Amino acid sequence: MFERLPTPFGLVRFGVAPDHPEVKNVIHDFDQVASTEGFRFFGNVELGVHVSLEALREHYDAVVLCTGAQGERLLNIPGEHLQGVVGAPHFVQWYNGHPDHVALRPQRPGSAAAVIGQGNVALDIARILTRSPEELHATDIHGAALAQIAAWQRDGLQTVHVIGRRGFIQAAFTNKELRELDTYDDVLPIVDPAELALSRNAASEQELSKSRMKKRSVDILEKMARNFADRGTTSKRIVHLRFLSSPCEVLPSEDGSSVGGLRIHRNELQGEPGQQAAVRSSGGEAEDIACGMVVRSVGFDITPMEGLPLDGRKRVPHKQGRVEDAAGGLYVAGWVKRGPTGIIASNIADAQETAGRLLADLSSRGGDPPARAGPSEVEAAVRASGTRVVSYEDWRRLEAEERRRGEADGKSAAKITDVGEMLRLL
């Protein structure tokens, strides 16, 4: 297993919310795989820098790319370049202590922030911005990011708007994450009852009647609609879920140097049940929301990589995980295979499908396997590149150090965020 960072686990380490430690339990399964005979970890080895995909394909019978979706989607609206607009992928990696993004320094939001998009990532961000820093301290959240969020809250961060372009029936978040917002003493989730009602047209009702999950979400959202009357409170921080609203411009602050607000317009839904699209309402007035931070949380994109075919939708053409290219022996699993959707469980099933395809291909290959120089040559080339290869045993030492530092500070772990420091510790 080759990994660019000295630390394994990708999204589990840098994407899963720090206050969802139970989701990270899958690391125990990964540890088990790592202790399987024949498994080796090559951390701090970057594909395309220390070793090429071409070289890997030459030396191994099969190569599986699990490189995820590293790119982020843009809104393509005026003002998006302003200081204070930040993409969710980097923002999440900032508070999760990713070495590439710990220095992000997001702008101070003032009294309000807006998160665009209504997937689970958007809810994670709204929760981390509004939950009590004292409660989050015990998690493995990056300490400097938490201190920054605590300072924003002390400076008056009061409301996080979570803005969805369609109705609640089409929203991408799941009920567990939605319900969770209403379980913290100092967070008040609210929904405008009028917007909730607007979300329901005839096609939506048909969608609703077919989805047990969405039927349950009605109860949760109706409770939040009852909270709407308390929207003026200052004793709790507010998460305001907005529906049928699209951002049309990020507005500058008075001196023009950064974000001062967000202009949104009202949408209506058009199209068949299950395929309803948000279309700007005719005559619908625009509304300006004052905020000093805009977090774009509208999904991820697979980034192109030399040797990886991508179609027009930025998807890898594959059959059961086997990439459809002439040479064969190349596979994909995870978000690079299925696109940037799905929780860990869905990706496990996908990975199993790819592994099954790979094993079937190898066993049906017939004849003599092609002569290959073998993995030891690729290893020699990686080591000759001068990078300090981090083994799984090295990683376990880093992990133990993170736990030791965390215990000293009342946290589950204090992540080491500097690659140079990690390597010096080994």
The residues in 63-82 that bind ligand NAP, with binding defined as CB under 6 A, are 75
- State CA 279 to chain mean position distance: 27
Q: How far is the CB of 104 from ligand NAP (least distance, A)?
A: 18
Residue 339 CB, shortest distance to ligand NAP, in Å, is 9
> What are the backbone angles phi and psi of residue 363, rounded to the nearest 5°?
-75, -20
Strands 245-252 and 237-242 come out as unpaired
- Residue 21 identity: P
Task: For ligand NAP, give the closer residue by CB, 335 or 395.
Answer: 335
Choose the binding region for ligand NAP from 295-303, 312-320, 350-358, 417-425 (rule: CB under 6 A). Answer: 295-303
- Which residues lie below 8 Å from residue 254, measured CB to CB, with a gap of 6+? 260
By C-beta, is 96 or 246 nearer to ligand NAP?
A: 246
CA separation, residue 250 to residues 105, 222, 259, 267, 315 (Å) = 19, 30, 7, 18, 30
* Helices and strands (H and E) in the chain: how many: 16, 18
395 in a labelled binding site:
no
Does 117 bind ligand NAP (CB under 6 A)? Our answer is: yes
Paired with 322 in beta bridges are 319, 331
Neighbours of 349 (CB within 10 A): 10
Could you tell me where the DSSP H helices lie in 199-292? 202-210, 212-226
165: contact with ligand NAP by CB under 6 A: yes
Q: Does 350 bind ligand NAP (CB under 6 A)?
A: no
Establish whether 342 is an annotated binding residue: yes
Closest to 323 measured CA to CA, from 106, 97, 64: 64
Give, in order, the Cα–Cα distances in Å from 384 to each of 43, 51, 56, 295. Answer: 15, 10, 15, 42
Instruction: Please tell me whether 177 is known to bind a ligand.
Output: yes
Number of neighbours of residue 315 by Cβ within 10 angstroms: 15
Q: Choose between 42 and 300: whose C-beta lies nearer to ligand NAP.
A: 300
List 49, 194, 197, 343, residue binding ligand NAP (CB under 6 A): 343
Nearer to ligand NAP (CB atom), residue 149 or residue 171: 171
| Mask for 172-201, x = binds ligand NAP (CB under 6 A) | x----x------------------------
Q: Is 165 annotated as a binding residue?
A: yes
Among 269, 298, 330, 413, binds ligand NAP (CB under 6 A): 298
C-beta of 62 vs 113, nearer to ligand NAP: 113
Query: Is there binding between residue 62 and ligand NAP (CB under 6 A)?
Result: no
344 assigned binding-site residue: yes
Q: Of residues 24-43, which lie at the interface with ligand NAP (CB under 6 A)?
A: none
Interface residues toward ligand NAP, by CB under 6 A: 75, 116-122, 124, 164-166, 170-172, 177, 246, 297-300, 340-343
